Amino acid sequence: MLMLSAYNLSYQIITQHITMKYLKITLLATVFAAILGGKAMAADYSNNPFTLTYDNAITQNVAGKVNIHPVKYVQQQTGIEVVANVYTPANYDPVKTYRAIVVAHPNGGVKEQVAGLYAQNLAEQGYITIAFDAAYQGGSGGTPRYTDKPQNRIEDIRAAADFISQYPGVDTTYLGLLGICGGGGYSIKAAQTDKRFTSIATISLFNSGDVRRNGFMRSQKESIGQRLADIANVRAMEAAGGEIQYTPAFGQNMTAEQVAALPFELYRQGYEYYAQTHAHPNSQTNNTVDSLLDLMEFDVNTNVDLINQPLLMIAGDKADSLYMTQEVFASATGTNNKALFLVPNATHIETYWKQPYVKQITDKLTAFYGENLK
């Protein structure tokens, strides 16, 4: 879902002063932002008993309808407790069999936002779905809080598959995977080796490692060495007993002029979504600086040829992040069943919530899983 750390495409960490007790970091183009202006708020999490933020979200479980089931489980590999929502289709009967889909949220997002929206939409099509909070984030356990490392996010997806595979009624022969934004990138990596996933789809894929390393649209390649040195200094300070350092969170009130000066639409619309229209208190917008050591050596667009399952990649044709989806799609040479769907006129963030884009995406996902999860 993109938290600031998820959309922090423009990380440019510059050390201003370092002592054993103090490290000051500034980030250039740290936050993405937009001014809400006169736009109406989406569903307010505080008015929903499940704290869901999207329009037409479930407010109560009704017999014969799609229902939501908050669950907890422990990741086998880490021992961390994860919180998730399982959505069951209308007239769910645990003695029957159902296909299931794991839904991975954007970096910085939580299960109550866009991941929940698409999980609910797919449950309405007859699937059992699960949307979870990544370990160290949201309502899940793990410390230091808001650690955001690729290996953790990939394990999150595998652990969700472990759990939903044991859920009453799930036919493990048919297990789908849907990743959104940063969750889309991590889903590509998980599917390369975890062949329990028999069909994979992404929405607005975000290559977290490439962006942390090179900047959004490869705008910061010249500063890689300095940024890595600065991050290493943070780690050294923490090893010497210093406090855990975090990248800055968004939240400051930006003027219209400051917003207009931000270089990418992704930043402007991202702030509007995460900080204003679809805000959730568990949707944190920063991460540990130490996480960047792992993120900067990571790249979604490696070993993509290991994916031999059916693959659907979706992105807005007006998204400034579109190049990430296109690059990974081109690298997916190991499957003879792949499709790229560009949503006309949609930007990256608009695929999270805006109609008619959400309906178009849901229809495309329904057709894809209907054909390939059978």
What share of the chain in percent tops pLDDT 70?
86
Q: How far apart are CA 6 and CA 28, in angstroms?
A: 15
Q: Is the previous residue joined to 248 through a cis bond, with omega within 30 degrees of 0?
A: no
**What is the CATH classification number for the domain harbouring 235?**
3.40.50.1820
Please report which confidence band the pLDDT of residue 247 belongs to, taking 50, 70 and 90 as the band edges.
Answer: confident
For position 275, what pLDDT does the model report? 83
Give the domain extent around 179. Answer: 4-372
Tell me the per-residue pLDDT of 135-149, one tens digit each, with 9 for 90 and over: 999 999 999 999 999
pTM above 0.85, yes or no: yes
Distance CA 30, CA 294 (A): 19
Q: Name the band, by pLDDT with cuts 50, 70 and 90, for residue 33.
A: very low
State the residue for tokens 């069943």: 337
Judge whether residue 205 has pLDDT over 80.
yes
The count of domains in the chain is 1
Single out the residue of 199, 175, 223, 295 nearest to residue 29, CA to CA. 223
- What is the rounded CA–CA span in Å between residue 40 and residue 31? 22
Q: What is the pLDDT of residue 254?
A: 62
**Confidence tier at 69 by pLDDT (50, 70, 90):** very high
* Averaged confidence pLDDT in the chain: 88
What pLDDT, in 10s, does the model give residues 101-132? 999 999 989 999 999 999 999 999 999 999 99
Q: What is the pLDDT of residue 1?
A: 35
DSSP H helices, 178-321, are 182-193, 208-214, 224-239, 256-261, 265-271, 291-295
Band the pLDDT of 155: cuts 50, 70, 90: very high
Give the separation between CA 305 and CA 231, rounded to whole angstroms: 32
User: 4-13, 35-44, 235-244: which has the minimum mean pLDDT?
Assistant: 4-13
**What's the rounded mean pLDDT across residues 78-96?**
97
